[in-house]
Amino acid sequence: MKKRIIFALIIVLGFIVPCAAAERVVNIFNWSDYIDPGVLADFTRETGIKVIYDTYDSNEMLEARMLAGPTGYDVVAPSGPLLQRLVRANVLRPLDRRRLTNAANLWPEIDRRLQLYDPGGAHAVDYAWFTTGVAYNEAKITERIGKPIASWDEVLRPDALKKFSDCAVYMLDSPEDMLAIALNYLKLDPNSKNSGDLRRAADVLAGLRRYVKKFHSSEYINALANGDICLAIGWAGDALQARNRAREAGSDVNIAFVAPVEGAMISLDTLAIPIDAAHVDAAYIFIDYLLRPDVAARNVRATNFASGVLPARKLLDPSIGNDPAIYPDAATMSRLFAVTAPDQSTQKLMTRLWTMVKTGH
């Protein structure tokens, strides 16, 4: 009798245990304001996989989580230079593209640019790409300088930026973006890792500090939309989200975005699987879902960030698919620069310089 009960128990547990182990869940750590929430709901409806979704607004936050471990995440979204560092640190799982049916939809040109950070696309696929430029309130800026922003000269000189300090300025809290922008403005190599060059770039930014209300990488969306600030150095899609939020609220705030004439930074954000991911199958299913053209198109509509999925563009209304702020035209494209990861000691220097820019010491 006892034997029979034990036997039955083994059979029952034999069914339950594997089911529990393969719990249908995926833990995502992505940038804030970077997805259509409806996509997550539909993913769960279509696959039965529950999504636990967490956000960040700086590569530094993701890097700290990845290096401290265990991450607790199945999919993360590092930008190019961070991807490069995470690959070096061996904290990402090699990505088997054969498990991603929709990888065939990846934009060859964008995929090629990704090679700079992850040769052979061995650990990541592109999620979105964009420029860092200037987002501004058209009326308030024209009122102050009589024309729209076109050049970094209108923003990166203390005398120029001062003109906007009464209506308030935010700047990204991102040394990677801001130092590269300042290097380019100084006509130095925007990807320079030379300590003298980096110090000069930091000095340019430090000279602007008194006119910057806040260094922050996500609050500028609402601050622009509400009219609390009139200018931000920020990311293209976020600027257009601010424009759309103001329109939806029926306000007369009109936000524009420009990649200035001297050139702007292009960034690629990617999707990758941490080495300690507990739900690898679900991670592949989720990444593959985001690479589906109709799903990618929904995310572009919601975020205004260009997708690395080429056929998504054709599904977009021309007001989005042909908006040069989202999909830069060839002339702008030729003026964009990309940056790569610094070595550890240069990264330490950049972190120190950035603290100096923000605090004065």
Task: Report CA torsion sign: 154, 159, 163, 166.
Answer: positive
Listed in sequence order, the DSSP H helices in the chain are 2-21, 37-47, 59-68, 80-88, 108-114, 138-145, 158-162, 175-185, 195-206, 220-225, 236-248, 280-290, 293-303, 310-314, 318-321, 330-334, 344-359
Q: Which of 29, 31, 152, 286 binds ligand N2P (CB under 6 A)?
A: 31
Which of 64/104 has CB closer to ligand N2P? Answer: 64
The values of phi and psi at residue 250, to 5°, are 70, 20
Which of 76/291 has CB closer to ligand N2P? Answer: 76
Site for ligand N2P contains 269 (CB under 6 A): yes
Which of 197/304 has CB closer to ligand N2P? Answer: 304
| CB 98 to ligand N2P: min, Å | 28
Site for ligand N2P contains 238 (CB under 6 A): yes
| CB 45 to ligand N2P: min, Å | 25
Distance (Å) of CA 72 to CA 130, 164, 234, 260: 28, 43, 29, 40
CB distance 330 to 173 below 8 Å: no
Site for ligand N2P contains 126 (CB under 6 A): no
Alpha-carbon distance of 122 to 139, in angstroms, equals 47
| CB 81 to ligand N2P: min, Å | 11
User: In DSSP terms, which residues pair with 92 in a beta bridge?
Assistant: 274
Site for ligand N2P contains 235 (CB under 6 A): yes
Site for ligand N2P contains 185 (CB under 6 A): no
List the structure tokens of 275: 């080495």
Site for ligand N2P contains 63 (CB under 6 A): no
Site for ligand N2P contains 170 (CB under 6 A): no
Q: Which of 28, 29, 34, 204 binds ligand N2P (CB under 6 A)?
A: 34
Burial of 183 by CB count in 10 Å (0-12 exposed, 13-18 middle, 19+ buried)? buried
Which of 154/177 has CB closer to ligand N2P? Answer: 177
| CB 12 to ligand N2P: min, Å | 47
| CB 58 to ligand N2P: min, Å | 8
Which of 56/152 has CB closer to ligand N2P? Answer: 56
Burial of 64 by CB count in 10 Å (0-12 exposed, 13-18 middle, 19+ buried)? exposed
Give the count of residues interacting with ligand N2P (CB under 6 A). 10
Q: Which stretch binds ligand N2P (CB under 6 A): 27-35, 86-94, 329-337, 352-360?
A: 27-35
**Bond from prior residue into 70 cis (ω within 30 degrees of 0):** yes
Site for ligand N2P contains 56 (CB under 6 A): no
Alpha-carbon distance of 62 to 66, in angstroms, equals 6
| CB 267 to ligand N2P: min, Å | 6
Residues of the shown chain interacting with ligand N2P in the complex, contacts defined by CB under 6 A: 31-34, 79, 218, 235, 238, 267, 269
